[in-house]
């Protein structure tokens, strides 16, 4: 109890002291405002000219400003008394203004910070790629230098023999890869492409518009809108065999005699695609880079030819739609 009664007068004294400082500061500011108001009233009440009856000169405003500056320079600047809270209030207002301006600046530059971070990430990724590329190039240069150093001690015949062996090995590798690609192409034609080619050839949808096509759909045929007809013909009908032979032609036997085999539309379309692809490849390889002689003459514009053109693997002759050639897209890389 004694301690609590002792602290109460200290708190009251501190509040009274602070209130007294505020009241003194306010009174001082009011006195300054009143002093300036009195000076302003005197200036307003004084005549506009230096001498009575004379009109104001052109330099009168500048004279007034000069007089004011001289009086201000000769007078003692206002300083608050030592216990005044005015400096603290000015500092607090300035700090608050600075904080608000900083917040506004950060909010307006938040987007630019995010963009800068993204650019920094891209720059880091590019730098990493450049480092990897530089490392690979250094390794390649070192290997070439080592190979050149080894060749300096070899005879010309040994260098030529080594080069021939390298070319033979590359040829074997290319032949192996070509065989794999041709087998993959054959499987793709048989398993996926042949049915869609047959459907397009028989008046159905374009290749790619209808993926699931079976033999029964081809037997039934398609209407004018490219949809499968509801009425289906008999699979063993002779009319169907004649239709296959009219569209794709009779299939030649191994001994060269033309015979009608019991084929379906999918098999015939796949065989036509393989024959056309093989003929185009042979023509391109025999052209030796001359595109003018790489064209193949077509008996008719088939679904297989249109598919190769749409896939940008082949192109028609600009003046003859019955001539087709493969696009030699690898020639630019070789050059």
Among 103-112, 258-267, 326-335, the minimum mean pLDDT is found in 258-267
For residue 134, pLDDT over 90 is answered with yes
Task: Answer yes or no: pTM beyond 0.95.
Answer: no
For residue 315, pLDDT over 80 is answered with yes
Residue, of 101 and 83, whose pLDDT is higher: 101
DSSP state at residue 291: G
How does residue 123 score in pLDDT terms, banded at 50, 70 and 90?
very high
pLDDT at 225: 53
Residue range 201-234, pLDDT digits in tens: 777 777 776 666 656 556 555 655 556 555 555 5
pLDDT at 251: 56
For residue 117, pLDDT over 70 is answered with yes
Among 106-110, 141-145, 294-298, the minimum mean pLDDT is found in 106-110
Number of Cβ within 10 Å of residue 243's Cβ equals 17
Residue, of 239 and 61, whose pLDDT is higher: 61
Residue, of 180 and 237, whose pLDDT is higher: 180
Mean pLDDT of 158-166: 83
The whole-angstrom distance between residue 215's C-alpha and the CA centroid of its chain comes to 44
pLDDT at 257: 38
pLDDT at 138: 92
How does residue 130 score in pLDDT terms, banded at 50, 70 and 90?
very high
| Average pLDDT in the chain | 76
For residue 54, pLDDT over 60 is answered with no
The whole-angstrom distance between residue 222's C-alpha and the CA centroid of its chain comes to 43
Compute CA distances 278 → 9, 272, 282, 284, whole Å.
111, 10, 6, 10
For residue 240, pLDDT over 70 is answered with no
Write down the residue that tokens 């609590």 correspond to. 4
Mean pLDDT of 230-250: 54
How does residue 259 score in pLDDT terms, banded at 50, 70 and 90?
very low
pLDDT at 1: 42
Greatest mean pLDDT among 64-78, 120-134, 284-298: 120-134
The beta-carbon contacts of 198-201 under 8 Å, at least 24 apart in sequence, are 198/265, 198/266, 198/268, 198/269, 198/303, 200/303, 200/306, 200/307, 201/247, 201/248, 201/265, 201/269, 201/302, 201/303
Mean pLDDT of 88-107: 88
pLDDT at 148: 76
Mean pLDDT of 28-36: 82
79: left (phi over 0), alpha (psi -120 to 50) or beta: beta
């Amino acid at each position: 109890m004694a301690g609590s009664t002792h602290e109460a007068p200290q708190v009251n004294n501190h509040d009274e002291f602070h209130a007294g400082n505020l009241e003194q500061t306010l009174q001082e500011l009011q006195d300054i405002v009143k002093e300036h108001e009195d000076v302003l009233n005197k200036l307003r009440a004084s005549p506009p000219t230096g001498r009575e009856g004379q009109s104001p000169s052109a330099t009168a405003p500048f004279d007034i400003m000069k007089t004011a500056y001289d009086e201000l320079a000769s007078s003692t600047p206002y300083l608050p008394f030592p216990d005044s809270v005015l400096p603290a209030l000015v500092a607090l207002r300035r700090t608050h203004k600075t904080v608000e301006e900083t917040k506004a600046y950060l909010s307006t530059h938040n987007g630019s910070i995010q963009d800068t971070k993204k650019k920094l990430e891209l720059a880091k990724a590019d730098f990493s790629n450049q480092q990897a590329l530089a490392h690979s190039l250094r390794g390649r240069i070192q290997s070439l230098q080592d190979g050149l150093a080894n060749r300096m001690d070899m005879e010309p015949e040994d260098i030529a023999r080594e080069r021939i062996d390298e070319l033979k090995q590359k040829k074997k590798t290319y032949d192996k890869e070509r065989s794999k690609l041709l087998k993959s192409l054959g499987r793709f034609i048989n398993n996926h492409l042949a049915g869609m080619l047959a459907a397009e050839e028989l008046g159905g949808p374009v290749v790619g518009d209808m993926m699931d096509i079976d033999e029964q759909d081809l037997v039934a045929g398609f209407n004018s809108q490219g949809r499968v007809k509801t009425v289906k013909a008999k699979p063993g009908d002779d009319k169907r065999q004649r239709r296959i032979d009219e569209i794709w032609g009779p299939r030649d036997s191994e001994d060269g005699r033309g015979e009608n085999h019991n084929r379906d539309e999918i098999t015939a379309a796949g065989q036509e695609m393989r024959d056309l692809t093989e003929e185009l490849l042979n023509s391109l390889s025999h052209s030796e880079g001359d595109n003018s002689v790489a064209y193949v003459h077509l008996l008719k514009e088939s679904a297989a030819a249109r598919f190769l053109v749409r896939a940008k693997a082949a192109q028609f002759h600009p003046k003859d739609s019955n001539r087709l050639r493969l696009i030699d897209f690898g020639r630019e890389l070789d050059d």
